[in-house]
């Protein structure tokens, strides 16, 4: 979907670019990533997955705020990332990474399906993802 279709479908909302909201999102992303790493160290694999996902989610939301958009659903964030990828602003692997993290979070939260290996993988993905969003932030 392009941005116009996302807005029309009410998945995202056009807003004024918001540096202050973006910075809050990046702060939350760092907080959640640190919490995920602590949970992983404490062998709380479900919480590690959940918090790792939210670090990814918040860092992507930060990009959206900088570009003048607000998400209405978690799905919309993935679609927004896909739009950025198609425009050549973001490598496609980060779209896949976002969707993998979201899927793992849903499995852990709703199906009680989580493991040490999944938690380690998702935490690793999240760390790289957040760093990539921080680099993207500088390019906007």
What was the pLDDT predicted at 29? 98
- How buried is residue 53: exposed, middle or buried, by Cβ count under 10 Å (0-12/13-18/19+)? buried
Give the chain's residues under pLDDT 70: none
What was the pLDDT predicted at 140? 86
What was the pLDDT predicted at 88? 96
Strands (E), 1-140: 12-14, 69-71
User: Distance between CA atoms of 60 and 132, rounded to whole angstroms?
Assistant: 10
User: Distance between CA atoms of 39 and 56, rounded to whole angstroms?
Assistant: 16
- For the entire predicted model, the pTM comes to 0.96
What was the pLDDT predicted at 18? 97
Instruction: Report helix, strand and coil shares of the chain as percent, to nearest 5.
Output: 75, 5, 20
CATH number listed for the domain at residues 3-139: 1.20.120.330
What was the pLDDT predicted at 71? 96
């Amino acid at each position: 979907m392009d941005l116009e279709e996302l807005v029309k479908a009410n998945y995202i909302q056009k807003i004024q670019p918001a540096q202050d909201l973006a910075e809050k999102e990046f702060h939350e992303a760092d907080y959640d990533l640190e919490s995920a790493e602590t949970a992983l160290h404490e062998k709380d694999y479900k919480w590690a997955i959940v918090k790792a996902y939210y670090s990814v989610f918040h860092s992507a939301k930060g990009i959206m705020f900088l570009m003048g958009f607000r998400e209405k659903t978690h799905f919309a964030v993935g679609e927004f990332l896909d739009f950025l990828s198609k425009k050549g602003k973001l490598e496609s692997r980060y779209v896949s990474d976002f969707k993998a993290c979201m899927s793992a979070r849903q499995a852990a939260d709703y199906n009680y399906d989580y493991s040490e290996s999944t938690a380690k993988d998702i935490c690793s993905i999240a760390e790289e993802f957040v760093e990539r969003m921080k680099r993207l932030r500088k390019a906007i």
